[in-house]
Amino acid sequence: MTRANPSIRRQLLWMTLLVLIVINGFVAWSANLYANRAARLSYDRLLLGSVLQIAENINSLDGNIVIDLPRSAFETLAMAPSDRAFYSIIGPDQHVLSGYTDLPDIPFDDLDQVRDQGGQITPFFYNGVYRGEEVRFLGVNKQLIDSNSSSDIYIVVGQTLSARQELAKETNWFVLRFVMLFFAVTLLLLMFGIWRVLRPLQRLRKAIDERSALELKPLILPVPKEITPLVNAINRSNTQLNSTLERLKRFTSEAAHQIRTPLAGLSSQAQNALDEKDETQRQQQLSHIVECSNLLRETVNQLLNQATLAHRFQSQPLKSISLDRLTKEVCRDLVVWALQKGVEIEYSGKVEVEIDGDDFALKQMIRNIIENAVNYSSRQSVVEVSLHVEHGKSRDEVVLRVKDQGIGVSDEEKQHIFERFYRSPNSQQPGTGIGLAIAKEVAEHHHASFRLRDNTPRGLIVEVVFPPVEVTAS
């Protein structure tokens, strides 16, 4: 469940965590680098201090080299409290004058290269392994100038690395602790931030939860800009739902009324027939009852049809349908029935049209229109059904046209005949008044619209105008 619906909160958390880990990892890494460098620099400086103090106390006296090591040089070295230290003072012939005689790999060439010029001593650092431990060495070359000669003295001081490592570790640990604190604090702040950002969503959910099932008033909530469209969409769908519900309510009450009235009529007529003594009168009354009940059945059928259509519209996806084939089928179905009424149905389609639609619903619509045309025509007349394309100004339209020569519909009635249960008062035909209402709903579902015109000399032209689609001339 949660896998299918990833939580925004969790995703945000993971992202921030990832970013934080990357940032903090980088900081920790550079802290390590920095700590090592700082430790190396500071202890190198001590080493240098010690070497300089030693160098200062080596002098040439009457051709003799006098080495008087200062205590301070060793005190400086002792600032690394648990490191071993080694030193060597080497004469011009690379003969050790004092200190350790076996220091490894003294780079005399390098020391000669950095030889001091004008009293300036340049240090040369190098690492080596001595007596089983890694040692940081510092060598200098000092020139002793006597009255008539000068000679090169080499001073090498080395110290093991544990104090450096300790300092680096300490610095590193210090920074790491800071980084961890920073990590925790930022994570907390971010979590708080995420909670704050997501709070409107929570509020929205709560607001929806708290509404009763039938409350469809628009939600009015202070929400961030990003969520406003969501609220708008919810409100829009609610409005639609509301109007549908309204329509359904109206429909139910109208339907109930429409069924109740004929039922009451039926029952009183049946009562009359029971009481009627005269046989022919009773026969008449009974046949009237049959007529009425037929009409009632028709009404119920239409209502059920409409309900079926409403259901189909919601559940059935639109399929590609050949409109011309569908129209021909309906004509074929109705032609015999029409002939019994003395009406001829003519189909004159010139195009093949494919539209996305619901075939059952479309058939229903076309059937209702043609039935009307037949029903409200006099005998010996023709109903023309045609399908063609009209080239409009901006776009092409597919038009389904049903033309009859019947009684027609007056102009003020034209706006009413699509209303449910509306029937023209001067129509002699039995009917329920639902047919065109259904047809209109179907048309709307297919984004089509109705056009009504008067036929000459008499009759009605009903046109269904479909939005432009791909058309092949046949």
Partner 1 sequence: MKRLPVFFLAILTAIVIGTAVGAGSLLADKVLDKAVDNSTGSELVIYGAVDRETIKSVFSAFLERHPQIALKYREFNSLDLYQYFLEHPDERPDLMLSSAMDLQFKLVNDGYAQRYSSEHTDRLPTRSKWRDELFGYAVEPIVIAINTDLLAGAPLPQSREQLLALIRNKDHLLDEKIGLPDIKSTGIGYLTWSYDSQLSRTYERLLEAFGIHHSRLYSDTRSMLRALTRGEIFIAYNALGSYTQAWSQEHPWIVPVLPTDYTTIVLRTAFIPKASRNPAEAKTFLDFLLSDIGQQLLTEHSSLIPVSGGPGNDSGSPTLFGASHSLLRPIPLGLELLLQTDTAKRQLLFDEWDSAMPHLSK
Least distance between Mg ion and beta carbon 364 (Å):
12
DSSP lists the bridge partners of residue 449 as: 465
Instruction: Pick one of Mg ion, partner 1, ligand ATP, none as the site partner of residue 131 (Cβ within 5 to 8 A by kind).
Output: partner 1
Residue 133 in contact with partner 1, rule: CB under 8 A: yes
Residue 433 in contact with Mg ion, rule: CB under 5 A: no
Instruction: Pick one of ligand ATP, partner 1, Mg ion, none as the site partner of residue 98 (Cβ within 5 to 8 A by kind).
Output: partner 1
**Which tokens go with 66?**
């006098």
Residue 84 in contact with partner 1, rule: CB under 8 A: yes
Least distance between ligand ATP and beta carbon 358 (Å):
20
**Region binding Mg ion by CB under 5 A among candidate stretches 6-14, 228-236, 247-255, 365-373:** 365-373
Residue 433 in contact with ligand ATP, rule: CB under 6 A: yes
* 313 CB-contact burial (10 Å; exposed 0-12 / middle 13-18 / buried 19+): middle
Which one of residues 152, 435, 446, 450 is an interface residue with ligand ATP (CB under 6 A)?
A: 435
CA 443, distance to chain mean position in Å, is 34
For Mg ion, give the closer residue by CB, 194 or 402: 402
User: Are 43 and 136 spatial neighbours (Cβ–Cβ below 8 Å)?
Assistant: yes
Residue number of the CB closest to Mg ion reads 435
Distance (Å, rounded) from C-alpha 398 to C-alpha 393? 14
CB within 8 Å of 158: residues ≥ 6 apart: 85, 86, 87, 103, 128, 130, 135, 136, 137, 138
Distance (Å, rounded) from C-alpha 85 to C-alpha 77? 7
User: Are 322 and 349 spatial neighbours (Cβ–Cβ below 8 Å)?
Assistant: no
Residue 349 in contact with Mg ion, rule: CB under 5 A: no
Cis omega before residue 457 (within 30°)? yes
The backbone torsions φ and ψ at residue 321, rounded to the nearest 5 degrees and listed phi first, read -135, 140
**Region binding partner 1 by CB under 8 A among candidate stretches 77-85, 287-295, 296-304, 391-399:** 77-85
DSSP 41: H
For partner 1, give the closer residue by CB, 24 or 53: 53
Least distance between Mg ion and beta carbon 368 (Å):
6
H-type alpha helices, 276-317 = 279-315
Residue 74 in contact with partner 1, rule: CB under 8 A: yes
Least distance between partner 1 and beta carbon 87 (Å):
7
Distance (Å, rounded) from C-alpha 443 to C-alpha 51? 102
The backbone torsions φ and ψ at residue 317, rounded to the nearest 5 degrees and listed phi first, read -75, 155
For partner 1, give the closer residue by CB, 33 or 66: 66
DSSP 209: H
CA angle in degrees (0–180, nearest 5) for 262-264-269 = 90
For ligand ATP, give the closer residue by CB, 321 or 417: 417
Distance (Å, rounded) from C-alpha 376 to C-alpha 383? 10
DSSP lists the bridge partners of residue 145 as: 150
**Region binding partner 1 by CB under 8 A among candidate stretches 82-90, 218-226, 262-270, 368-376:** 82-90
**Which tokens go with 118?**
């004008």
Provide Rg for the chain, Cα atoms: 52
Distance (Å, rounded) from C-alpha 463 to C-alpha 388? 11
Instruction: Pick one of Mg ion, partner 1, ligand ATP, none as the site partner of residue 460 (Cβ within 5 to 8 A by kind).
Output: ligand ATP
Which one of residues 302, 306, 364, 405 is an interface residue with ligand ATP (CB under 6 A)?
A: 302
Instruction: Pick one of ligand ATP, partner 1, Mg ion, none as the site partner of residue 450 (Cβ within 5 to 8 A by kind).
Output: none
For partner 1, give the closer residue by CB, 59 or 449: 59
Instruction: Pick one of Mg ion, partner 1, ligand ATP, none as the site partner of residue 97 (Cβ within 5 to 8 A by kind).
Output: partner 1
CA angle in degrees (0–180, nearest 5) for 284-434-285 = 5
Chain positions 359 to 378 lying near ligand ATP, rule: CB under 6 A, are 368, 372-373, 375-376
The backbone torsions φ and ψ at residue 320, rounded to the nearest 5 degrees and listed phi first, read -75, 130
User: Are 155 and 50 spatial neighbours (Cβ–Cβ below 8 Å)?
Assistant: no
Chain positions 397 to 426 lying near ligand ATP, rule: CB under 6 A, are 404, 406-409, 417, 422-424
What binding mask, one character per residue, do residues 231-250 give for ligand ATP by CB under 6 A, x or -?
A: --------------------
CB within 8 Å of 380: residues ≥ 6 apart: 342
Residue 76 in contact with Mg ion, rule: CB under 5 A: no
Least distance between ligand ATP and beta carbon 305 (Å):
10
Which one of residues 139, 200, 406, 435 is an interface residue with Mg ion (CB under 5 A)?
A: 435
Residue 86 in contact with partner 1, rule: CB under 8 A: yes
- Residues making contact with Mg ion (CB under 5 A): 372, 431, 435
Task: Please give the residue ranges that form the binding site for ligand ATP (CB under 6 A).
Answer: 298, 302, 368, 372-373, 375-376, 404, 406-409, 417, 422-424, 427, 431-436, 460
Residues engaged in binding partner 1 (CB under 8 A): 66-69, 71, 73-75, 77-78, 81-87, 89, 97-99, 131-133
